[in-house]
């Protein structure tokens, strides 16, 4: 009896150049990012991928789990990759051809599966139909994680507005349940992070530390800014030891002091002729009033004035990128406050830490909307995002009652970091610059109805 042999051949066009697509697809441990039939993959051999490199891949077919071992059988950079896979009772050969185009790459994906035994005619017909269905799904997914989802650019929908106005559905989105519901939404390929220069403030603890870890894992050239030299050193050692494609460097600066912000920007300008992503994550809630030695209330200096100044000083390398992103990390506390001019310069007698923090974060959201319009022609997209309610030492220290009451529902720092990491590379996000705000890779309203009356306070910064 002859063996059953199944074939597919699919072609797609990608926006990335052929060498970047080739480098990404050689890393077969990333196959789970784009193949929905794969639930786990890992590299078995050390070093850069090459002929003979081996990978363990686990497939899911209905309720079954099917382990396979793949190896790179042939490579011809940047035009050809041939992968040979072995499973129980079958073999697979994946042949990927890349053809450079004037803009981007044409990819042709052919797969041949050979079974040790022949199926019955009925089983063979059903199997071929399912194989073609999953192959079509997989190739569309590969195109989507590299190009984005052009037919469904995120927008603020009437349903989302209704959910937020109903309060409870909107608040559920801030919890760990909201993360669980949205974590698989709009996947993005790690290839879109590889080699891109990203600057992250406040990256030594909490959400920022989780962001740093994930960006380096995905291949970014990351610069982490922090105030504490020892924490920066620990982070650098930790991330340098990861089996990751990215790199990390650190910069020490107290971002509550504008002189140090200017010195930081000067150092970054000397070392980097372009910056692809700036993540304004640093922030703190101070329950006691304090003025910095430069005469600015500490919350406003750290959480609003500092990211404003750093962003403006880094505009030249951001514009030089041609495809840069600015991400302002906001907070759920801002929903309690509209923007008030007097809130930007609080007095000792009426100072309230959570109120000052909410005002500063709301200012960041308004700046994101404004910057998006101002710098669109320079290829810069600007986003405000809310990481949800995250269990961090800062939250426990600043708002102990809130932390105690909601602790079972709080997100982990890695869950809070997820949308920040996504915004740093997702093509969908770049096309939706200036949207109201992001929570779980969805556009959400971040303004109170009264914000437009007061936003002129900072629009001309």
Within a 13 Å sphere around the CA of 245, how many CA atoms are in the beta-carbon half? 18
289 is catalytic: no
Burial class (CB in 10 A: 0-12, 13-18, 19+), 390: buried
Under 8 Å between Cβ of 248 and 222:
yes
Under 8 Å between Cβ of 364 and 282:
no
List Cβ<8 Å contacts ≥24 apart for 113-118. 113/5, 113/6, 114/3, 114/4, 114/5, 114/90, 115/3, 115/4, 115/5, 115/89, 115/90, 116/3, 116/89, 116/90, 117/1, 117/3, 117/4, 117/89, 118/1, 118/2, 118/3, 118/4
Under 8 Å between Cβ of 400 and 347:
no
Angle at 260 between CA 321 and CA 357, to 5 degrees: 90
Rounded Cα distance, 30 and 375, in Å? 34
List Cβ<8 Å contacts ≥24 apart for 180-184. 181/440, 182/440, 182/441, 182/442, 183/415, 183/418, 183/440
Catalytic residue among 24, 193, 335, 357: 357
In order, the DSSP letters of 313-325 are: HTHHHHHHHSS-E
Angle at 46 between CA 41 and CA 48, to 5 degrees: 90
Smallest CA-to-CA distance from 438 within 151, 155, 158 is with: 155
Which residues, 6+ apart, have CB-to-CB distance to 268 below 8 Å?
Answer: 199, 223, 251, 275, 314, 317
Rounded Cα distance, 387 and 219, in Å? 22
In order, the DSSP letters of 326-362 are: EEEE--GGGGG----GGGGS--GGG--HHHHHHHHHH
Cis-peptide, bond into residue 78, ω within 30° of zero: yes
Rounded Cα distance, 361 and 387, in Å? 12
Rounded Cα distance, 361 and 9, in Å? 50
Tell me phi and psi for residue 186, to 5 degrees: 50, 70
Residue numbers annotated as active site: 357
């Amino acid at each position: 009896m002859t063996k059953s042999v199944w074939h597919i051949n699919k072609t797609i066009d990608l926006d990335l150049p052929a060498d970047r697509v080739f480098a990404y697809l050689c890393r077969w441990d990333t196959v789970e990012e784009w193949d929905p039939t794969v639930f786990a993959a890992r590299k078995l051999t050390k070093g850069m991928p090459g002929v003979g490199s081996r990978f363990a891949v686990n497939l899911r077919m209905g309720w079954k789990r099917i382990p396979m071992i793949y190896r790179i059988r042939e490579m011809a950079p940047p035009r050809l990759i041939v992968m040979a896979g072995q499973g129980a009772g079958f073999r697979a050969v994946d042949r990927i051809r890349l053809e450079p185009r004037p803009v981007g790459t044409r990819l042709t994906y052919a797969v041949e599966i050979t079974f040790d035994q022949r199926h019955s005619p009925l089983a063979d017909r059903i199997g071929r139909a399912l194989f073609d269905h999953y192959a079509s799904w997989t190739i569309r997914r590969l195109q989507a994680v590299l190009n984005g989802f052009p037919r469904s650019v995120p927008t603020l929908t009437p349903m989302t507005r209704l959910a937020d106005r109903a309060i409870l559905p909107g608040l559920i989105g801030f919890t760990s349940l909201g993360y669980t519901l949205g974590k698989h939404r709009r996947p993005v390929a790690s290839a879109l992070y590889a080699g891109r220069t990203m600057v992250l403030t406040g990256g030594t603890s909490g959400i920022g530390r989780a962001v740093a870890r994930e960006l380096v894992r995905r291949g970014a050239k990351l610069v982490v800014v922090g105030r504490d030299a020892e924490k920066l050193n620990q982070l650098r050692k930790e991330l340098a030891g990861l089996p990751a494609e990215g790199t990390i460097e650190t910069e020490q600066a107290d971002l509550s002091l504008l002189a140090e912000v200017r010195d930081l920007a000067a150092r970054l300008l000397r070392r980097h002729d372009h910056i692809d992503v700036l993540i304004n994550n640093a922030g703190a809630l101070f329950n006691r009033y304090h003025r910095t030695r430069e005469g600015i209330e500490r919350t406003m200096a750290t959480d609003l004035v500092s990211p404003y100044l750093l962003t403006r000083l880094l505009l030249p390398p951001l514009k030089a990128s041609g495809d840069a992103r600015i991400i302002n990390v906001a907070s759920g506390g801002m929903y309690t406050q509209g923007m008030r001019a007097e809130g930007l310069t609080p007095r000792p007698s009426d100072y309230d830490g959570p109120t000052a923090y909410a005002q500063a974060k709301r200012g960041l959201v308004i700046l994101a909307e404004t910057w998006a319009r101002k710098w669109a022609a320079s290829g810069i997209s600007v986003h405000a995002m809310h990481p949800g309610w995250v269990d961090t030492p800062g939250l426990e220290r600043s708002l102990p009652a809130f932390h105690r009451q909601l602790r079972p529902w709080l997100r982990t720092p890695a869950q809070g970091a997820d949308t920040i990491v996504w915004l740093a590379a997702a093509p969908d996000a770049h096309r939706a610059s200036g949207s109201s705000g992001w929570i779980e890779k969805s556009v959400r309203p971040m303004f109170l109805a009264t914000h437009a009356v007061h936003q002129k306070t900072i629009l001309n910064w």
